[in-house]
Amino acid sequence: MALRVAAIQTCPIEGDREATYQKAEKLLDEAAEKGVQLAVLPEGFFHGYSAVTDAKKNGDDAELERVLTSFESIPGPTTERIAAKARQHGMVIAFGMLVNGENGDKPSNASVLIDSTGEVVNVHRKVHLTPVYEAPDFKPGDDFAVSDTTIGCIGNMVCADFSLPETTRILAIRGAQLVCGSLAAFYGDNPERRNGVLQMYLNSHASPSRAIDNSLFLVMANMCGWNAGLEFFGRSRIIAPSGEILAEGDEGGDKEQIVVADIELGSVGELPFRLIERRRPDLYEAILTPNTNAAPLDFKG
């Protein structure tokens, strides 16, 4: 199936929900004008990440508690606004948002997948939380799901979920032909500003090996701009199952753009076969061995 897909590298407008909605809607309208049938927005685009970070920096526990209990539920205003755009343009849309905890539980950092009909078909709650920035204040998810959409079988995850090879593999085993990644990668403390870039694009999150190993397409939208005092550097990527980088955004906090590529869903490009079909699950029991030498992360607070 021939598709035009887009990774939209952009940043929310801090403290202004309506302006952020309007910005997202404008970008989705522009993507539709380009013929895009699937669009991905970054991690945490909707709403409140900067407020969490500010409260932590200020050591204001009361304000942090207020912010953490102020996020929306799904369905809610955000999913309704984006679903309207999905229906208007006949477009599948994945985007990142912070989601209110249920029954008094901690909130989640989620990727929401909306079909072209406007139906919310999956809410993936980030499984691998980042210490300090998320853990222990957010609750980690516990599943990796795929969804049948009008354009095919799609998986969606959030940022650090791509840092472990098992996650994309699970989605591929469950039938995903394409995985949407909502990312929020920023420059690290290295004076050359390379730490975050190396982590994201050579080592893990948006490495071509994720696509090659699992014989699927990746549409990876990274945040771009300043948010919560951090500079997010863009360089969104669309990667083919062959590992070819079909399109890549520019790097830098001022490089907001819509990164577009045409793909043939179900194709593996020039590869002679789907590598995932050569798996030997009968030999992989050791992969479930616990991390006995790793310090546990505090997800409970």
pLDDT for 57: 86
Please name each of the domains of the chain with its CATH number: 2-288 (3.60.110.10)
Element containing residue 227 per DSSP (H, E): strand 224-227
Phi, psi of 69 (to 5 degrees): -105, 10
pLDDT, average across residues 240-268: 93
| Count of positions (residues) in the chain | 301
Give how far the C-alpha of residue 247 lies from the chain's centroid of Cα atoms, to the nearest Å. Answer: 17
Taking alpha carbons only, the member of 78, 95, 98, 77 closest to residue 31 is 95
pTM comes to: 0.92
Round to whole Å and give the CA distance between 96 and 47: 9
pLDDT for 226: 92
pLDDT, average across residues 30-42: 98
pLDDT for 183: 95
Residues 6+ apart with CB under 8 A from 176: 146, 153, 154, 155, 214, 216
- The DSSP string of 179-194 is EEEEE--B--SSTTS-
pLDDT for 274: 78
Taking alpha carbons only, the member of 150, 299, 143, 152 closest to residue 217 is 152
Round to whole Å and give the CA distance between 235 and 89: 26
CB atoms within 10 A of CB 153: 17
pLDDT for 300: 45
pLDDT for 147: 98
Given a cut of 60, whether residue 35 has pLDDT beyond it is yes
**Exposure b/e, 136-147, CB count within 10 A at least 16 = b:** ebbbbbeebbbb
Tell me how many degrees the CA angle 263-222-82 measures, rounded to the nearest 5.
75
pLDDT for 203: 56
Round to whole Å and give the CA distance between 43 and 250: 18
Which of 76-85, 131-140, 161-170 shows the lowest per-residue confidence on average (mean pLDDT)? Answer: 131-140
pLDDT for 171: 97
pLDDT, average across residues 6-21: 95
pLDDT, average across residues 25-31: 98
pLDDT for 292: 75
pLDDT, average across residues 225-231: 89
Indicate if the alpha-carbon torsion angle 66, 112, 164, 185 is positive or negative: negative
Please report, to the nearest 10 degrees, the dihedral formed by the alpha carbons of residues 113, 115, 118, 124 taken in order: -20
pLDDT, average across residues 121-146: 93
pLDDT for 194: 61
Given a cut of 60, whether residue 275 has pLDDT beyond it is yes
Round to whole Å and give the CA distance between 197 and 141: 26
pLDDT mean across residues, the chain: 90
pLDDT 10s digits, 53-74: 888 888 889 999 999 999 999 9
pLDDT for 301: 39
Taking alpha carbons only, the member of 41, 46, 42 closest to residue 71 is 46
